[in-house]
C-alpha cells in the first residue's frame, strides 16, 4: 500500500498541517496565560512567553472579579447533572432492556425522538416556568435542565449495554439467592460499566461546556462559561492574559481528563450519531 | 399473573425518573412554546398574556431590522452551508488519511483532532477573537510580515465576518465529522479492498468504486447532523459577533435571543422557536429515513 512514497509523505504533511491548525488557536490563547499583561497585549505578538510567569493565576483568582466562584458553580452543576442523567438513564435503560410493559417500544422511540428537540426551542417557556416556580438562578435548576439534554441519549446507550448482558446470568444469580438489586449490582452493572462510564463522561462534558441556557436561566450562580463571556464583554479593552488564564483553568483539566477517557468519549459520540 | 403485574409496575417505576424529566422540562415547555407563540407576552410581565392569533408570525415575516428572509434566513443558510462544506470536507479527508493502514501515530493524531470538540464554545469564541483581533491579532501580524499594507478588519468587515465565523466553526465541528467518518471507514471490512485489488483496481478506482459507495450513508447522516447542530448553534456567533456588524451574522438562533431577551418580546421569540422546531422536524425526518436506509444496506 505504501508503494508510492510521495503519497506517504503527502499524507503525513497534510495530517501534520491539520494537527497544527487544530492546536494553534488554543496554544495562542493559553500562551497568553504565561505572559505578563504588557507582553500579551503588546505588539508585535510573541510566540513563546519572553518572561514566563504564573502571576496571572494569582491575579485572576484573588484580585479580579472573576475569582473561584464560577468554577465551583460549574463543578457542582456539572457533577449534579451528570449524576441525575446517568442514574435516571441507568434505571430506564435497565427497565427497557429487562421488563415487558404496555407501550414499551412506543415510549422508547418517543424518548429517542425527544433527543432531536433543541433546548433553544423551549428556552422561552423554560425561562417563564423557572421564574414562576423559583428555579430561576438556582444550581438545581441548571442541573435538571442539563440532565434533560443528555438523558435520552444515555438511556439509549445503556439499554444497548444491558441488552448484551444475558438474562440467564441474572437468573442464575437469583436462583443462587441474590435479590434483584444484588443481581443488578453484582452481575449486570459490572458488565455494563463501560457504558455507564461513557454515559457519565458524555453528560459531564456537555454540562461543563454549556453556555446559552446558563446565561438565560441564571444571574448570580453563574458557571464559568457565562463568567468568561461577561469578562470578555464588560471590559472595553480586553485583558487577554487574564482571559487566557481563565480559559486555561476551565479547559486544561478537562482536556487532561479527556485524554484518559478518550475511548469512552468516542463510544458516546459515535454511538449516539449512528442509532440502529 | 401477579408476578406479571409486579413486573409491569417495576418496569414503569424504572423508567419514571427519565420520563418525568423529559415530560416536565421538554414536552410540556414544547406545548407552551406553541401556546406562547400565539400570545403577546412581555419579558417584564410574564404573567400577563393576550391572545393575538398569528400576529407574532406575521410580525417576524414583515420585520425590518433585520428582515427575516433576506437577512436572518440567508445568514443562517450561509453559516450552515459553509460549515457543512468545511466540516464534512476536512473531517472526511482527515479520516481517510489517518485510517490508511500504514499510517503511524494514529492514536496521537486522533486525540489532537478531537480536541476542538471537547472545548467549550465560549473558549473557542475567545481564542478566535484573539486571532482575528485587528490590532493585536496574530493574523494581521502575519499579513504585516508578508508585506500587506491594507489590513482587513476581519470580524468588523461586512464581507469577511461570515467566512471568519465559518472557519472558527469548521475548526470546532470537523472533529465530530472526523469521528463519525472514522466509524464509517472502520465498518468497511478489509476483504472488500483485497477483493478489489485482486480484480486489479488501483487506489483511485478503489476509492471511487469501493470506499465512496460504502461511505455514502455515513456522509449523508453526517450532513443532516451538522445541519441540525449548526441551525441550533448559538454560543459561538453570540460570543464572537452578537449578530453584527449590520445583522450580517444575525442567524435564527441569535435572532430568537434578541427578540425574546433583549427586546423582551417573548411571544415573538416563541414564534421563532416554533419555526426553528419545524426546521428541526424536517431534518429529523430526513435523518430517520437515512438511518433506516443505512441499517437496511448493512443487512
pLDDT score recorded for residue B169: 97
Predicted confidence (pLDDT) at residue B38 exceeds the cutoff of 80: yes
Chain B contacts of A29, Cβ < 8 Å?
123, 126-127, 130
Chain B contacts of A111, Cβ < 8 Å?
18-19, 22
Question: Closest chain A residue to B132 measured between Cα atoms?
Answer: A25
Same domain (yes/no): A223, A129: yes
* Residue B4 within any structural domain of the chain: no
3-class secondary structure, B280: helix
Contact B183, A269 (CB under 8 A): no
Helices then strands, counting H and E runs in chain B, come out as 14, 2
* Residue A12 within any structural domain of the chain: yes
Distances (CA, A) of A30 to A209, A244, A245, B135: 17, 5, 7, 19
Q: Which residues form the domain of A29?
A: 5-53
B228 to A116: CB separation less than 8 angstroms, yes or no: yes
* Residue B238 within any structural domain of the chain: yes
Q: Total structural domains in chain A?
A: 2
Chain A contacts of B203, Cβ < 8 Å?
7
Distances (CA, A) of A131 to A136, A138, B31, B47, B247: 5, 11, 18, 10, 30
Q: How far apart are CA A181 and CA A159, in angstroms?
A: 17
Same domain (yes/no): A12, A146: no
Closest Cβ opposite residue A92 in set B15, B29, B234: B15
Compute mean pLDDT per 10 residues along chain A, 276 residues long, and list them: 75 95 91 85 80 86 84 95 96 92 92 90 95 94 96 92 85 84 84 89 93 95 92 72 90 83 74 52
Predicted confidence (pLDDT) at residue B1 exceeds the cutoff of 60: no
* Residue A45 within any structural domain of the chain: yes
List the Cα angle B173/B175/B178 in 5-degree steps: 120
Residue A165 C-alpha cell reads as: 448482558
pLDDT score recorded for residue A121: 93
Same domain (yes/no): A203, A74: yes
Chain B contacts of A17, Cβ < 8 Å?
none
Question: Closest chain B residue to A10 measured between Cα atoms?
Answer: B97
Cβ count near B152 (within 10 Å): 16
Same domain (yes/no): A99, A217: yes
Cβ count near A265 (within 10 Å): 23
Cβ count near B27 (within 10 Å): 15
pLDDT tens-digit series, residues B142-157: 899 998 888 888 999 9
Give the number of beta-carbon pairs within 8 Å between A and B: 271
3-class secondary structure, B160: coil
Residue B46: phi, psi to the nearest 5? -70, -15
**Closest approach of chain A CAs to the CA of B44, in angstroms?**
11
Chain B contacts of A240, Cβ < 8 Å?
130, 136
Same domain (yes/no): A235, A151: yes
B295 to A152: CB separation less than 8 angstroms, yes or no: no
Whole-prediction pTM: 0.91
Q: How far apart are CA B114 and CA B119, in angstroms?
A: 9
Question: Closest chain B residue to A238 measured between Cα atoms?
Answer: B130
Neighbouring-strand partners of residue B40? B50
Same domain (yes/no): A10, A73: no
* Residue B8 within any structural domain of the chain: no
Same domain (yes/no): A39, A109: no
Q: How confident is the model at residue B135 (pLDDT cuts 50, 70, 90)?
A: confident
Residue B45: phi, psi to the nearest 5? -135, 85
Closest Cβ opposite residue A228 in set B21, B126, B136: B126
Q: Which residues form the domain of B121?
A: 66-298
Same domain (yes/no): A125, A30: no
**Closest approach of chain A CAs to the CA of B274, in angstroms?**
7
Same domain (yes/no): A28, A135: no
* Residue B5 within any structural domain of the chain: no
Query: Strand B39-42 relative to strand B45-51: parallel, antiparallel, unpaired?
Result: antiparallel
Closest Cβ opposite residue A240 in set B26, B101, B130: B130
Could you tell me the CATH number of the domain that includes residue B217? 1.10.3720.10
* Residue A155 within any structural domain of the chain: yes
Contact A28, B138 (CB under 8 A): yes
Q: Total structural domains in chain B?
A: 1
Predicted confidence (pLDDT) at residue B239 exceeds the cutoff of 70: yes
Mutate to test the interface with B, among A125, A162, A216, A251 (most CBs of B within 10 A): A125
Q: What is the ipTM of this complex?
A: 0.90
List the Cα angle A232/A234/A239 in 5-degree steps: 50
Chain A contacts of B112, Cβ < 8 Å?
19, 22-23
Q: How far apart are CA B37 and CA A121, in angstroms?
A: 11
A122 to B14: CB separation less than 8 angstroms, yes or no: no
List the Cα angle A236/A237/A242 in 5-degree steps: 115
Residue A136: phi, psi to the nearest 5? -60, 135
Neighbouring-strand partners of residue B39? B51
* Residue B250 within any structural domain of the chain: yes
**Closest approach of chain B CAs to the CA of A164, in angstroms?**
18
pLDDT tens-digit series, residues B10-20: 899 999 999 99
* Residue A58 within any structural domain of the chain: no
3-class secondary structure, B46: strand
Could you tell me the CATH number of the domain that includes residue A239? 1.10.3720.10
A125 to B270: CB separation less than 8 angstroms, yes or no: yes
Same domain (yes/no): A45, A77: no
Looking at chain B, the whole-number percentage of residues with pLDDT higher than 90 is: 59
* Residue A122 within any structural domain of the chain: yes
A95 to B11: CB separation less than 8 angstroms, yes or no: yes
Same domain (yes/no): A129, A214: yes
A240 to B136: CB separation less than 8 angstroms, yes or no: yes
Q: How confident is the model at residue B132 (pLDDT cuts 50, 70, 90)?
A: very high
DSSP-assigned letters across all residues of A97-117: HH---TTHHHHHHHHHHHTTS
Residue B96 C-alpha cell reads as: 481517510
Q: How far apart are CA A188 and CA A131, in angstroms?
A: 42
A148 to B93: CB separation less than 8 angstroms, yes or no: no
Same domain (yes/no): A112, A193: yes
A209 to B27: CB separation less than 8 angstroms, yes or no: no
**Closest approach of chain A CAs to the CA of B8, in angstroms?**
5
Mutate to test the interface with B, among A5, A88, A121, A224 (most CBs of B within 10 A): A121
* Residue B15 within any structural domain of the chain: no
pLDDT score recorded for residue A235: 56
The mean pLDDT value for B55-72 works out to: 90
pLDDT tens-digit series, residues B197-235: 888 888 888 888 888 888 988 898 899 999 999 999 999
**Closest approach of chain A CAs to the CA of B1, in angstroms?**
13
Mutate to test the interface with B, among A118, A155, A205, A223 (most CBs of B within 10 A): A118
**Closest approach of chain B CAs to the CA of A149, in angstroms?**
9
Amino acid at each position: 500500500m505504501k508503494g508510492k512514497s510521495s503519497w506517504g509523505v503527502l499524507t503525513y504533511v497534510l495530517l501534520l498541517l491539520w494537527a497544527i491548525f487544530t492546536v494553534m488557536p488554543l496554544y495562542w490563547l493559553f500562551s497568553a496565560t504565561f505572559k505578563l499583561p504588557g507582553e500579551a497585549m503588546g505588539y508585535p505578538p510573541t510566540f513563546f512567553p519572553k518572561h514566563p510567569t504564573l502571576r496571572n493565576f494569582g491575579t485572576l483568582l484573588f484580585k479580579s472579579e472573576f475569582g473561584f466562584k464560577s468554577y465551583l458553580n460549574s463543578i457542582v452543576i456539572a457533577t449534579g447533572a451528570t449524576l441525575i442523567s446517568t442514574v435516571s438513564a441507568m434505571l430506564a435503560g435497565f427497565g427497557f432492556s429487562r421488563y415487558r410493559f404496555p407501550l414499551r417500544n412506543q415510549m422508547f422511540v418517543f424518548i429517542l425522538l425527544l433527543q432531536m428537540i433543541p433546548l433553544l426551542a423551549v428556552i422561552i417557556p423554560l425561562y417563564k416556568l423557572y421564574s414562576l416556580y423559583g428555579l430561576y438562578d438556582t444550581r438545581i435548576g441548571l442541573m435538571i435542565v442539563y440532565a434533560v439534554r443528555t438523558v435520552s441519549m444515555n438511556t439509549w446507550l445503556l439499554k444497548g449495554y444491558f441488552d448484551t448482558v444475558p438474562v440467564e446470568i441474572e437468573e442464575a444469580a437469583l436462583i443462587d439467592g441474590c435479590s434483584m438489586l444484588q443481581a443488578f449490582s453484582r452481575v449486570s452493572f459490572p458488565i455494563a460499566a463501560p457504558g455507564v462510564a461513557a454515559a457519565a463522561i458524555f453528560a459531564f462534558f456537555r454540562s461543563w461546556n454549556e453556555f446559552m441556557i446558563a446565561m438565560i436561566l441564571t444571574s448570580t450562580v453563574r458557571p464559568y462559561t457565562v463568567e468568561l463571556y461577561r469578562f470578555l464583554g464588560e471590559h472595553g479593552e480586553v485583558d487577554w492574559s487574564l482571559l487566557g488564564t481563565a480559559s486555561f483553568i476551565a479547559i486544561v483539566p478537562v482536556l487532561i481528563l479527556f485524554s484518559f477517557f478518550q475511548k469512552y468519549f468516542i463510544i458516546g459520540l459515535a454511538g449516539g450519531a449512528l442509532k440502529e | 399473573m401477579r408476578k406479571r403485574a409486579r413486573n409491569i409496575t417495576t418496569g414503569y417505576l424504572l423508567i419514571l425518573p427519565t420520563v418525568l424529566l423529559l415530560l416536565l422540562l421538554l414536552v410540556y415547555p414544547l406545548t407552551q412554546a406553541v401556546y406562547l407563540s400565539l400570545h403577546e407576552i412581555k419579558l417584564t410581565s410574564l404573567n400577563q398574556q393576550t391572545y393575538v392569533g398569528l400576529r407574532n408570525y406575521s410580525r417576524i415575516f414583515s420585520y425590518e431590522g433585520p428582515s427575516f428572509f433576506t437577512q436572518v434566513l440567508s445568514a443562517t443558510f450561509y453559516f450552515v452551508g459553509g460549515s457543512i462544506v468545511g466540516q464534512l470536507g476536512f473531517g472526511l479527508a482527515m479520516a481517510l488519511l489517518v485510517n490508511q493502514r500504514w499510517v503511524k501515530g494514529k492514536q496521537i493524531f486522533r486525540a489532537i483532532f478531537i480536541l476542538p470538540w471537547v472545548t467549550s464554545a465560549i473558549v473557542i469564541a475567545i481564542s478566535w477573537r484573539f486571532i482575528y483581533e485587528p490590532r493585536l491579532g496574530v493574523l494581521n501580524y502575519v499579513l504585516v510580515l508578508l508585506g500587506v499594507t491594507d489590513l482587513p478588519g476581519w470580524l468588523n468587515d461586512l464581507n469577511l465576518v461570515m467566512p471568519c465565523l465559518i472557519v472558527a466553526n469548521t475548526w470546532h465541528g470537523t472533529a465530530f465529522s472526523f469521528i463519525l467518518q472514522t466509524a464509517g471507514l472502520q465498518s468497511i471490512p478489509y476483504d472488500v479492498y483485497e477483493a478489489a485489488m485482486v480484480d486489479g483496481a488501483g487506489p483511485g478506482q478503489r476509492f471511487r468504486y469501493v470506499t465512496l459507495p460504502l461511505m455514502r450513508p455515513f456522509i449523508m447522516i453526517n450532513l443532516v447532523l451538522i445541519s441540525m447542530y449548526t441551525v441550533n448553534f448559538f454560543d459561538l456567533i453570540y460570543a464572537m459577533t452578537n449578530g453584527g456588524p449590520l445583522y450580517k451574522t444575525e442567524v435564527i438562533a441569535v435572532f430568537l435571543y434578541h427578540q425574546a431577551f433583549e427586546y423582551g418580546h417573548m411571544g415573538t421569540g416563541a414564534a421563532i422557536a416554533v419555526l426553528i422546531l419545524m426546521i428541526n422536524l424536517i431534518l429529523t425526518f430526513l435523518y430517520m429515513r437515512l438511518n433506516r436506509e443505512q441499517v437496511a444496506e448493512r443487512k
